[in-house]
Amino acid sequence: MILLAGDFRQTLPVIPRSTPADELNACLKSSSLWKHVKVLHLSKNMRVELQNDQSGNIFSKQLIDIGNGKFPIDMLTGCINFPQSFCQLTRSKDELIQKVFPDVSQNYRNHDWLSERAILAAKNIDVNELNFKIQEQITGELRIYKSVDSATNQDDVVNYPPEFLNSLDLPGLPPHNLQLKVGSVVIMLRNINQPRLCNGTRLAIKKLRASQ
């Protein structure tokens, strides 16, 4: 028996330079094996139940309605029309940061305060810009760590020049120039020393040392 967990509204396969139809065709539900799958539905949002957050419960139901296609869609743009009460709109990224992380320069050492806040973005370029803007408000020295860009095989230097490798920005990997400060929040991509911490754990930088 194989147990599959997830939500098809969130975990559609990502296919570079493809259409939405290509992603749907690559989905598990389009596979010939899908007829052998028994679907079990969860009835409660346990994160909301444990925290007893009424506003969170309302928000989670709204997200389900979006996934089920119950919100009206603009016929001209194809965009979903949100009601005025759905969320608070901001005019700029700086205003967004101020609303989610108010006085971050004074509160960034409070880990409980940090654990209650997060900004989600659809594109990595927006995530990087938001991270840099927030990190600029943290006091302390900025350290820059660069990835290893030397080729182990000298024959590959011509095929893969360092300038090309340094320009790559791959999902799931840190950038070539990694800028950090003490107190910055990071995410553990992969834990080699298992089973202490899980992949994806949010951590705070306590000390920075020079790279070897």
The DSSP secondary-structure symbol of 202 reads: E
CA distance 134 to 204: 14
Q: What's the pLDDT band for 212 if we cut at 50, 70, 90?
A: low
Contact indicator for 23, 12 with CB cutoff of 8 Å: yes
Of 97-101, 102-106, 163-167, 193-197, the least confident: 193-197
For 40-75, give one letter per residue: b (16+ CB within 10 A) or e.
Answer: eeeeebeebeeeeeeeeeeeeebeeeeeeeeeeeee
pLDDT at 205: 92
Ranges of each domain in the chain: 1-41, 45-87, 90-212
Contact indicator for 66, 73 with CB cutoff of 8 Å: no
The DSSP secondary-structure symbol of 144 reads: E
Taking the CA atoms of 179, 185, 187 and 191 in sequence, report the sign of the dihedral they define. positive
Q: What is the pLDDT of residues 30-84, one digit of tens each?
A: 889 899 999 888 777 777 776 677 777 788 888 888 878 888 888 888 888 887 7
Contact indicator for 48, 62 with CB cutoff of 8 Å: no
Q: What is the pLDDT of residues 110-169, one digit of tens each?
A: 999 998 888 988 888 898 899 999 999 999 999 998 887 777 777 766 777 778 878 877
CA distance 19 to 16: 9
CA distance 32 to 29: 8
Taking the CA atoms of 101, 105, 107 and 108 in sequence, report the sign of the dihedral they define. positive
